[in-house]
Chain A
Amino acid sequence: MDFNLTEERRMLQETLRRYLTDRYTTEVRNGIISSEAGLSAEIWAELAELGVIGALFAESDGGFGGAGFDIATVFGELGRAGVVEPFLDTAVLGGGLVAALGDDGQKALLGDVIAGGLHLALAHGEPASRYDLSRVETSVRGDGDDVVLSGRKAVVINAEAAGYLIVSARESGGFFDLDGISLFLVPAGSKGVTLRGYPMLAGGRAAELVLDEVRLPGTARLGEAGKGFAPLMDAVAAANVALAAETVGAMESAVELTRAYLMTRKQFGRPIGTFQALQHRFADLLIELEQARSAVINAAGHLEAPDRDRQIAAARNLIARAGRLVAEEAIQMHGGIAMTQEYELAHIAKRIVMAEHRFGDADYHLERFIALSAA
C-alpha cells in the first residue's frame, strides 16, 4: 500500500494551492460571486494554463491525467479555496461525456475545453427528477435526418457560459427506464432553446432550460441512440468523486479557520479554545475530517473498479454527514462572525452544505448503498 500522491500530482497540488492562496482571496471570490457572469474568465484561463483542466483528461483525449486521484487532487484544492468556477460542469461532466462518447469531430472540441476556451454544461436533471438519474421526460423524435427535442431541464449549472449543452432526452420507454435515454450536443443559441439564468446560493450560476421543438441535425447525437444512461452514470460517478473531494477540501479550510479562531478569540479573559467543552467538539471535527479524507480515497481509488457505485455512495453519504457537522459546528464555535459574508468561513460553509444538493443527499446515497450492498 502507498497512500502518497505521485510526484506529478503532488506538484500539481502545490502549484494549485500556491496559486489559489495568492490569487483567489475572499475579496476576489466575493467579487466573482456578485458579478454578472458568476465566474472569472481570467482566472479560468490562468487555471487552464496551470493544467487544471488537462489533469482531468486522459492522455488519449489530450490531457495528462483523468484518473480518480487526479480528479480528487484538483478538486480538493478547488474546494479548499472555495472556487466557484464550473470545472465540474465543463470538464468532468461535459468534457467527460464528449471524451467517452464523441466521434472524431465531436472530440475535437476537447482541445478547446482543455485550453480553457470552451465551456460545457450537462442538461440532465428535470423539474421533477430530483436525484433520480433515469427519470427523463424530455423527448426526442426523428424527423428525416433531423432530431427534434422538447422538454424542460432544471438547475443546469453553467448553462449560460456553455458553448454546447449536453442534453439528455428520452428516445423510448417510460419515465424511469434505463434504456431509451439519448444524449445530444446542442450548440448555445440553438433555435427553440430558452434559458432563464440565476445565481446560486453558494456561488456560480445555473439556468432553467426550456426546449421547444429544438431541431438539430442527426450528427448532434452524442453516442448511441437510447444508450445514454451508462455513460451518464460514468460521468456522474466521476463528478461524485470531484464533489466528494471538493467538499473535503472545504471542510479542511473550515476546520483550519476554526482552529485559528479558537486559539485567538478571547472571552472571559482567555482564548475560547482553552475551554474543554470546545476542545472536545473541535477534536470531533478532526476525527470526522479524517474519516471524510479516507472516504475520498475510497471513492477515487474505485472509480474504475467493479465496486465503484457502492464505494461512491458510501463516500458521499459519509461526507454529507461529516460535512454538515463540520459546517454547523465551525459556524457555532465562531459565533456571529462566521455568519458574515466578508468572513471566509461563510462561503466555505455554504459550499459544504450545498454540495449535498448535487447528485444526491445523505439519504439518497444511503439508499443507494443499501440497494447496491444487497445486490
Chain B
Amino acid sequence: MDLSYTDEEKAFREEVRAFLAEKLPKAVSDKVRAGISLGKEGHDDWHATLNEKGWLAFNWPREFGGAEWNAVQRHIFEEECALAYAPRIVPFGLSMLGPVLQKFGSKAQQDYFLPRILNGAHWWCQGYSEPGAGSDLASLKTRAVRDGDHYVVNGQKTWTTLGQYANWIFCLVRTDPEAKQQEGISFLLIDMDTPGIEVRPIVLLDGTPEVNEVFFDNVRVPVENLVGEENKGWTYAKYLLTHERTNIAGVGFSQAGLDAVKRIARIESAGGRPLIENPHFAARLARIEIDLMGMATTNMRIISQAAAGQAPGVESSMLKVKGTTIRQEINDLTRRAVGPYAMPFASEMIEGDNDPVGPDYAAPVAVQYFNNRKLSIFGGSNEIQRGIIAKMKMGG
C-alpha cells in the first residue's frame, strides 16, 4: 500500500493548478462559487479556454483530438477544477455522446460531429427520459418510423438539461414496437432546428430554468443520423451511461462545499461564539468530513483499478449513492449555517446583478439545497443504483 501520488502525478497536479491560476477568470469562479448561472456564453468561453490547451476532451483518445488521460489524471483534474470553482465541463457532447460516436459511430459521423463538439459549434442535449419512462428508461415510447431516406419522429422527451442552449439532441427512440422493450430502441442524432421540434422550459422548485420538455411532431431525421445499427440503441445507451458515471463520486465538489461551509461557520455566530465552535454544528460537520474521507479513499481505490485497466462494476453505483448523499448533507448543513438568512429569495441574485440580502454567501444556499435534491434522482436514481448493487452481488 502506498497512499501517496507518484512524482509524475504530483507534477501533473501542479500543472493543472498553474493553468487554473492563469486561465480561470476570477469573475467566473466567483459566479460558480455563488451558484450564479453562467449562461451559454460563459460555458462556451470556458470550453474554448480548455480546448485551446487540449484539455477539453480529456477522456477522448488522441486520434479524435482528446488528451487521453488515465483515470488518476482525470481525477486530479476534476478535483482541482472543483476546488478552484471552475465551471463544470458540460457533459452531453464531451463525456456522453463523444465516446459513443468514437465506438459505434460511422467515420462520416465522427468526422463531422466530433470536431464540432470540440469547437463549440454544437451544443448537445440528452433525449432519454420521457414522462412515462424515468427510472424505467427502456419503456420509452417516442417513435421513429422509417420513410424513405428519413425517420419520422413523434413523441416527447423530458428533463432535458440545458436543452434551451442546445442545437443538437441525441435521442433514444423506438423503431420496433413489436420487439422486447430493450430490443426495439435506436439511437438518433437530431438537429434541433428541424421543423416540428418544440422546447418548453420546466420551472423547478427553486425557480431556475435548467430543464426542459422537448416535443417531436413529425420530425424528419435523415437516416445517416442513425448511430450504429437500427434497434441496437440500448447497447449504445448503456455504454453512454458508464461514461456518464465518471466522476460520479464528486469528491472535489464535496471538498469545495465542505471548505465553503467551514468558512461560513467561522463568520456566523451562535450565542455570541463562532458557529464552528458550537458542539452540535461541529458534530454535524465532523460526521460529514469523516464520511467524505472514507469515500475519497474508496474513490481512489476504484480509480486505481480503472487506471490498471479494470472496468468498474458495482462500485460506480456505490459511489453514486454515497457521493450524492454526502453532497446533499453538505447542502443541508450550509443551509443551517446561515440561519434566518436562508429565507430570502431573489431570483435576480441567481442571475447576478443585485446586492444580496444579508451576507453574500447566504444568498444561494437554500436554492442549492433544493436544487441538489436532483442528485439522488437523476442519472439513475439512488433506488435504481441500490437495485443494481443488490442484483450484482446476489444474482437474480
Residues on A lying within 8 angstroms of B by beta carbon are 125, 127-128, 130-132, 135, 154-155, 175-176, 196, 198-202, 206, 208, 266-269, 277-278, 324, 328, 331-332, 335-336, 338-342, 346-347, 349-350, 353-354, 356-358, 361, 363-364, 366-367
Contacts of B344 in A (CB 8 A): 155, 198-201, 206
Q: Can you name 11 A-B residue pairings with CB atoms under 8 Å?
A: A132-B272, A155-B340, A175-B272, A200-B345, A201-B206, A201-B342, A338-B205, A339-B205, A341-B207, A346-B204, A357-B339
Nearest neighbor of B356 in chain A, beta-carbon distance? A198
Q: Given A130-B268, A277-B383, A363-B280: A267 and B136 within 8 A (CB)?
A: yes
Q: Does B77 contact A (CB under 8 A)?
A: no
Which of B166-174, B222-230, B309-317, B365-373 lies at the interface with chain A?
Answer: B365-373
Contacts of A208 in B (CB 8 A): 357-358
Query: A128 vs B339: C-alpha distance in the bound complex, in angstroms?
Result: 10
Query: A175 vs B344: C-alpha distance in the bound complex, in angstroms?
Result: 25
Residues 191 to 211 of chain B near chain A (Cβ within 8 Å): 202-207, 211
Query: A278 vs B332: C-alpha distance in the bound complex, in angstroms?
Result: 23
Contacts of A358 in B (CB 8 A): 340, 343
Query: A199 vs B386: C-alpha distance in the bound complex, in angstroms?
Result: 39
Are B343 and A331 in contact, with the CB atoms below 8 A? no
Which interface class (under 10, 10 to 19, 20 to 34, 35 or more) fits B?
35 or more
Which of B67-75, B297-305, B374-382 lies at the interface with chain A?
Answer: B374-382
Contacts of B377 in A (CB 8 A): 331-332, 335-336, 339
Are A154 and B340 in contact, with the CB atoms below 8 A? yes
Q: Given A132-B271, A342-B203: A335 and B369 within 8 A (CB)?
A: no
Nearest neighbor of B378 in chain A, beta-carbon distance? A336
Are B204 and A199 in contact, with the CB atoms below 8 A? no
Query: A246 vs B377: C-alpha distance in the bound complex, in angstroms?
Result: 28
Contacts of A335 in B (CB 8 A): 134-135, 377, 381
Contacts of B207 in A (CB 8 A): 341
Contacts of B341 in A (CB 8 A): 154-155
Q: Does B58 contact A (CB under 8 A)?
A: no
Q: Given A202-B343, A267-B136, A349-B205: A328 and B373 within 8 A (CB)?
A: yes
Contacts of B206 in A (CB 8 A): 201
Q: Does B12 contact A (CB under 8 A)?
A: no
Are A267 and B134 in contact, with the CB atoms below 8 A? yes
Interface majority SS (helix, strand, loop, mixed), chain B: mixed
Nearest neighbor of B210 in chain A, beta-carbon distance? A339
Query: A346 vs B133: C-alpha distance in the bound complex, in angstroms?
Result: 21
Chain A nearest CB, measured from B350 CB (Å): 11
Q: Which 10 A-B pairs have the closest CB atoms?
A: A346-B205, A201-B345, A267-B136, A363-B280, A341-B203, A130-B339, A155-B340, A357-B342, A200-B343, A268-B136
Contacts of B136 in A (CB 8 A): 267-268
Contacts of B370 in A (CB 8 A): 201, 339, 349-350, 353
Q: Given A346-B205, A347-B205: A339 and B340 within 8 A (CB)?
A: no
Q: Identify B373's interface contact among A198, A332, A342, CB under 8 A.
A: A332
Query: A206 vs B284: C-alpha distance in the bound complex, in angstroms?
Result: 30
Chain B nearest CB, measured from A243 CB (Å): 13
Contacts of A269 in B (CB 8 A): 139
Contacts of A175 in B (CB 8 A): 272
Contacts of B270 in A (CB 8 A): 130-132, 364
Contacts of A200 in B (CB 8 A): 343-345
Most buried by B among A132, A328, A346, A361: A361
A336-B159, A357-B335 are known; give 17 further A-B pairs, CB within 8 A.
A128-B269, A130-B269, A155-B344, A176-B272, A199-B345, A200-B344, A331-B373, A335-B381, A336-B158, A336-B374, A349-B370, A357-B342, A363-B281, A363-B284, A363-B336, A366-B280, A367-B280
Query: A356 vs B365: C-alpha distance in the bound complex, in angstroms?
Result: 14
Query: A200 vs B357: C-alpha distance in the bound complex, in angstroms?
Result: 11
Query: A198 vs B269: C-alpha distance in the bound complex, in angstroms?
Result: 24
Query: A199 vs B343: C-alpha distance in the bound complex, in angstroms?
Result: 9
Query: A300 vs B84: C-alpha distance in the bound complex, in angstroms?
Result: 50
Q: Does B121 contact A (CB under 8 A)?
A: no
Query: A251 vs B366: C-alpha distance in the bound complex, in angstroms?
Result: 19
Query: A10 vs B186: C-alpha distance in the bound complex, in angstroms?
Result: 59
Query: A154 vs B340: C-alpha distance in the bound complex, in angstroms?
Result: 8
Nearest neighbor of B279 in chain A, beta-carbon distance? A367
Q: Given A342-B203, A349-B205: A155 and B373 within 8 A (CB)?
A: no
Q: Does B346 contact A (CB under 8 A)?
A: yes
Q: Identify B336's interface contact among A198, A277, A339, A361, CB under 8 A.
A: A361
Query: A350 vs B342: C-alpha distance in the bound complex, in angstroms?
Result: 12
Q: Given A198-B357, A278-B383: A357 and B204 within 8 A (CB)?
A: no
Nearest neighbor of B132 in chain A, beta-carbon distance? A266
Most buried by A among B271, B332, B346: B271
Q: Does B49 contact A (CB under 8 A)?
A: no
Q: Does B278 contact A (CB under 8 A)?
A: yes
Query: A350 vs B270: C-alpha distance in the bound complex, in angstroms?
Result: 24
Q: Identify B358's interface contact among A154, A201, A277, A346, CB under 8 A.
A: A154
